[in-house]
């Protein structure tokens, strides 16, 4: 499995499994179990997704040791602020049936996210979180957070795919050694991304799907990706991006 080092030295998988919009608890649990069986070791959820319990149950049922699974969750806008973030974090731990998180993120740059960050710094220093980061922070908010606190975010989870490459934001993040984590790597299926001629033609060359081409492109740019699917065959397909070999000439 390809890994990336965060700015605090933590090793994180470059390819993970996301559960955004999987609201059916049984379906979420089965999808996560399928992902773990396939070989995924990074699972991304959030308090506002309403499926942390299903994720926790799946990890327990998988029989995989806790330290082998990299769990990511997020604090939502309604829980922004120092004390609310502390309470939300403890609820997240209970839901996930764990006593620590590998990565905890501020979900949106709204409300008292500076208070949230202060709470997260303390939880990180106490060893309850291995790394802390943010989501959806544009350059101004991101730089302000870095300059206002002792610990810089390890990750910024942003919309990133071939149609939305966020190059300016990426440059700012490189300056502060903040890693890019792509949500919606398939643009949520919009704009005919799976029928895009360039992606289709690259896929034909390597006998891969457009989705696999996108995930391989993200990996080669050291961008963490968290594709979502509730279909076992797609989950396996999205994981199979190591063998981009030119077909044998006959």
> Quick check: is 80 in a domain?
yes
Q: Which residues contact 10 (CB under 8 A, 6 or more apart)?
A: 102, 130, 131, 154
The single residue of 49, 104, 113, 124 carrying the catalytic annotation is 49
Q: What is residue 244's predicted lDDT score, i.e. its pLDDT?
A: 86
pLDDT tens digit string along 125-140? 999 999 999 999 999 9
Residue 245 lies in a domain: no
Residue 139: CATH number of its domain: 3.20.20.100
Upper half-sphere CA count for residue 55 (Cβ side, 13 Å): 31
DSSP secondary structure string for all residues of 100-158: -BSEEEE-SS-SSHHHHHHHHHHHHHTTSBS-EEEES--HHHHHHHHHHSSS--SEEEE
Annotation says 100 is catalytic: no
Which residues lie closer than 8 Å to 205 by C-beta, 6 or more apart?
246, 247
Q: What is the mean pLDDT of residues 223-232?
A: 97
pTM beyond 0.75: the answer is yes
* Alpha-carbon distance values, 133 to 42, 98, 124, 180, 239 (Å): 15, 19, 11, 10, 25
Mean pLDDT of 195-211: 96
SS3 at position 243: coil
Domain presence at residue 249:
no
pLDDT given for residue 62 in this prediction: 98
Supply the DSSP symbol for 161. Answer: B
Is there a binding annotation on residue 231? no
Examine residue 5 and state whether it is found in any structural domain, yes or no.
no
Residue pair 89/58 in contact (Cβ under 8 Å)? The answer is: no
Q: Is the pLDDT confidence value at 204 over 90?
A: yes
pLDDT at residue number 200: 98
The number of folded domains in the chain is 1
Round to whole Å and give the CA distance between 241 and 39.
Answer: 12
Mean pLDDT for the stretch of residues 208-235: 97
User: What's the mean pLDDT in 212-231?
Assistant: 97
The count of other CB atoms within 10 Å of the CB of residue 70 is 21
CA pair distance 121, 133, nearest whole angstrom: 10
The answer to the question of residue 213 being in a domain is yes
Q: Are 155 and 147 in contact (CB under 8 A)?
A: no
Assigned domain for 21 exists: yes
CA angle 215, 206, 203 (to 5 degrees): 55
Is-contact 10 36, C-beta < 8 A? no
pLDDT, residue 248, reads 58
CB neighbour list of residue 112: distance below 8 Å, 6 or more residues apart: 80, 81, 82
**Res. 249: pLDDT tops 70:** no
Query: What is the C-alpha separation between 226 and 45, in angstroms, rounded?
Result: 10
Residue 245: pLDDT over 80: no
Amino acid 250: pLDDT: 45
SS3 at position 15: strand
Angle (CA) 11 16 22, round 5°: 140
pLDDT at res. 66: 97
pLDDT band at 1 (very low <50, low <70, confident <90, very high): confident
Q: Is residue 203 part of a domain?
A: yes
Q: What is the pLDDT of residue 247?
A: 65
The model's pLDDT over 52-109, given as tens digits with 9 standing for 90+, comes to: 999 999 999 999 999 999 999 999 999 999 999 999 999 999 999 999 999 999 999 9
b/e code 180-205 from CB counts within 10 Å (16+ = b): bbbbbbbbeeeeebeebeebeebbee
Taking all residues of the chain, what is their mean pLDDT, rounded to a whole number? 96
- The answer to whether residue 127 sits within a structural domain is yes
Tens digits of residue pLDDT in 166-181:
999 999 999 999 999 9
Residue-number span of the structural domain to which 179 is assigned: 14-239
């Amino acid at each position: 499995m390809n890994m990336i080092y965060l700015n605090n030295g933590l090793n994180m998988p470059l390819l993970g499994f996301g559960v955004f919009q999987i609201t059916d608890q049984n379906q979420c649990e089965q999808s996560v179990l399928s992902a773990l069986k396939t070989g995924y070791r990074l699972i991304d959820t959030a308090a506002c997704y309403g499926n942390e319990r299903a994720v926790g149950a799946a990890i327990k049922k998988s029989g995989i040791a806790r330290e082998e699974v990299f769990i990511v969750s997020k604090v939502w806008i309604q829980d922004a602020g120092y004390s609310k973030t502390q309470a939300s974090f403890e609820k997240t731990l209970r839901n996930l049936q764990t006593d620590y998180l590998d990565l905890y993120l501020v979900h949106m740059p709204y409300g008292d996210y500076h208070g949230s960050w202060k709470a997260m710094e303390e939880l990180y220093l106490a060893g309850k979180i291995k790394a802390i980061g943010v989501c959806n922070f544009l350059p101004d908010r991101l730089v302000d957070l870095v300059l206002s606190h002792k610990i810089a975010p390890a990750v910024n989870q942003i919309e990133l795919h071939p149609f939305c490459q966020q190059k300016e934001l990426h440059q700012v993040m490189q300056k502060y050694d903040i890693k890019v984590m792509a949500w919606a790597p398939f643009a949520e299926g919009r704009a005919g991304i799976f029928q895009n001629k360039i992606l289709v033609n690259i896929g034909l060359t390597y006998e891969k799907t457009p989705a696999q081409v996108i995930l391989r492109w993200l990996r080669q740019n050291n961008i963490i990706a968290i594709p979502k699917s509730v279909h076992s065959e797609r989950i396996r397909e999205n994981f199979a991006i190591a063998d981009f070999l030119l077909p044998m000439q006959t």
